[in-house]
Structure formats: C-alpha cells, structure tokens
Amino acid sequence: MTLTEQPRPTAPHLPAPRGDLSRTVLAALRGEGGALPRPEDIARAEPYGDDLQLCLYLLYELHYRGFEGVGELCEWDPDLLRVRAAAEDRFLTALRADSPTARSVDEAVGELLVEPAGDDGHSVSHHLKAGGELWKLREYAALRSIYHLKEADPHLWVVPRLRGRAKAAMVAIEFDEFGGGRAENIHAQLFADLMADLGLDTTYGHYLDVAPAQALATVNQMSLFGLHRRLRGALVGHFATVEITSPPGSRRLAQALRKAGAGPAAQRFYDEHVEADAVHEQIVRRDVIGGLLEDEPALASDIAFGIRSTGFLEDRLGEHLLAAWREDRTALRERAGVPFP
C-alpha cells in the first residue's frame, strides 16, 4: 500500500479504534503494516456493533474526504476493498434479515405518509419538542453531524444509474439540497450553521469518536447503497424515506430549538427542510420512484427494502437516544480526551 501522498487539508483526523477489526484497519491506513481482518473474523462480528460499523465507516470515508495522513491511493487499495466487501456482506445480510418486509412499494411508501396522531413514546423529535432541553438538542446535532455534514452526497451516486424522468427529478431535488447554486444555502452548510449556533465544533468528522454505533450505521447504509449500482433501488428507497418523513419531524425539531432559545441559524436548517421537503416528497414519489419503476419494475423489492431498512436503523438509533435521555444521561460515547462539545 502506498501512503506517500500528501493528505488533503480538509481531511478529518483518524478516530480511536473500537475493537480488533477497526484497530487493524486503522493500522493499515497509518501505514503501520500488520495483517488485515480475515473474512471469517468479519463474519463473526456483531453486524450493528461499534467495531464493524467503525470499520465500515473508515473504509467508506476514503470515498468522501479521506483522513489526515492517509494517502488517496488507499481509496482503491485491493486489500482494503476485500475487507470492505466482507464487512458490507455482514451488514447487508443482517439488514435484509432484520428489516420488516413489505408486499409492495405502495405499501412501504404509504406507511411513510401516515403521521402518528401524537407522541407514541418512540419519536425523538416529539421527545425533544416536549422537553426543549438544550443539552439534548446539542447532543442530537453532534451525532447527526456525521450524517448531515455529508447530506445528499451519497445520493448523487445514483444519478448516472438512472435515466429519463427518474434522473431529471433526482437532479432537481439534489439541486435544492446543494443550495440551488449558492454555497451558503447548501444544506450541509446550513447544518454547520446550526451547530455553530449551538456552540458546537463544525469541523467535518469532529464528533466521530463520540457517535454511537447506531448513528454510524445510518451513515454507512447510505454509503453502502450509494457505492453499489446493484443497490440503486435501495438507495432510491432510502432517499424517498428521508424526503417523505422529513417535514413533520423537522417542524417539531424547529419548535424544540425555539423553545430551547436557540438562535435563528439553528432554527433555519429545520425550517428549510419543512418547506423544501414538502415539495420534494411529491416529486420523489411521482417521478423518482415512479420513473424508476417504469424503467426497471424488477427493482420494486429493492426500493421497498431501502425504505424498510432505513426505518429499521432510524428506529434503533431513536431507541438508543431515548433510553439514555429518559435517564438524564448522555447518549454519546464517552472517551477520555474527547470533550463534548
């Protein structure tokens, strides 16, 4: 492995390991040598656990901004790709087994359109709106930063795999996600502004070390679906879930931020998603999903899987957050030397 290239200046620091898998991958990225994980080691790993999820996150991040001190040729290193393939198989196999099945895309989408009448005890946005506690909102923003500071990026990978109506609609939505041509309105920038308003560090990847495995899994799912053409239907299902469920949750989070006394930049991110995603929801249902099914009806089960697996992972994350917050304890991983915020 060649590690002689200069790192890009915006690359984040490498995180601390969380087990043998991530430890050996980190050693390889640092150029320290040693044996990489064997397929049988990966096959025994907990698919949603800290070690495997961090291992996947490390290998996926090479396709985004990389890491400080890690050469860019590592992105396509064949040994690392073999590790990634085995870890992906472990994760994807578990997702397929654990995600609820749907009889059709219409059934899966229809369930996304049903908003509970009130707080059912499982909703993070309802909990935050009811409490309005600033420390919880800051924790939520910190762990969500590993997702939102790359918001929309992995969804772009599906564009060259679509055509016609589905492609045109996908690009139209993504144009909004990337600020309509204005850098200050890129949604990832709006989230960084939210973080700054809450007194958080806006550096890309800063909170990786304190993000629990449940949060890593939601990001890894996007990367997994985005990097594989064979999973293009699942990525469209993921995208549809995000766009359809965003407006009501974003409205509650904006209300929670106002109740907590957060500044206008913090509120703007969610206000923007209430307005924009209400329009996007119609386009993604009618033109992205509808257009893709017209072109490739065989992808219906993959679209439904993308929707259901996204809900499954979001529910796991929500359960983790609420279990901690109801006991007035942090939902973040605590590690010596990594203060929060």
Going by pLDDT thresholds of 50, 70 and 90, the confidence category of residue 139 is: very high
Residue 297 has pLDDT above 50, yes or no: yes
d(CA 187, CA 180) in angstroms, rounded, equals 10
| From 12-16, 118-122, 131-135, 248-252, the region with the lowest mean pLDDT | 118-122
User: How confident is the model over 148-182, as pLDDT tens digits?
Assistant: 999 889 999 999 999 999 999 999 999 999 999 99
Q: What was the pLDDT predicted at 5? A: 44
Residues 315-326 have pLDDT tens digits of 999 999 999 999
The pLDDT of residue 127 is: 95
- Rounded to the nearest integer, the mean pLDDT of the chain is 92
pLDDT band at 338 (very low <50, low <70, confident <90, very high): low
Q: Which of 20, 271, 64, 270 is nearest to 152 (CA)?
A: 64
Query: In the chain, what percentage of residues exceed pLDDT 90?
Result: 82
* pLDDT for position 151: 80
The predicted-structure confidence for 38-49, as pLDDT tens digits, reads as follows 999 999 999 999
Summarize the confidence of residues 228-234 as an average pLDDT.
Answer: 98
pLDDT of residue 113: 87
Is the pLDDT confidence value at 336 over 50?
A: no
| Three-state SS letters, 97-128 | HHCCCCCCHHHHHHHHCCCCCCCCCCCHHHHH
pLDDT of residue 337: 53
Closest of 203, 198, 187 to residue 148, by C-alpha: 187
Matching residue, tokens 């073999």:
82
In a 3-state reduction of DSSP, which class is residue 324? helix
Does residue 260 have a pLDDT over 60?
yes
pLDDT score recorded for residue 281? 85
More confidently predicted of 3 and 117: 117
Which of 279, 255, 275 minimizes the C-alpha distance to 267? Answer: 255
Whether the per-residue pLDDT at 302 is higher than 80: the answer is: yes
Res 8: pLDDT: 44
pTM of model > 0.85: yes
Q: Using CA atoms, how far apart are residues 272 and 176, in angstroms rounded to an integer?
A: 10
CATH superfamily, domain at 103-325: Heme oxygenase-like (1.20.910.10)
pLDDT in tens, 58-113: 999 999 999 999 999 999 999 999 999 999 999 999 999 999 999 999 999 999 98
Q: What is the mean pLDDT of residues 325-332?
A: 95
Domain ranges of the chain: 20-97, 103-325
For residue 118, is pLDDT > 70? no
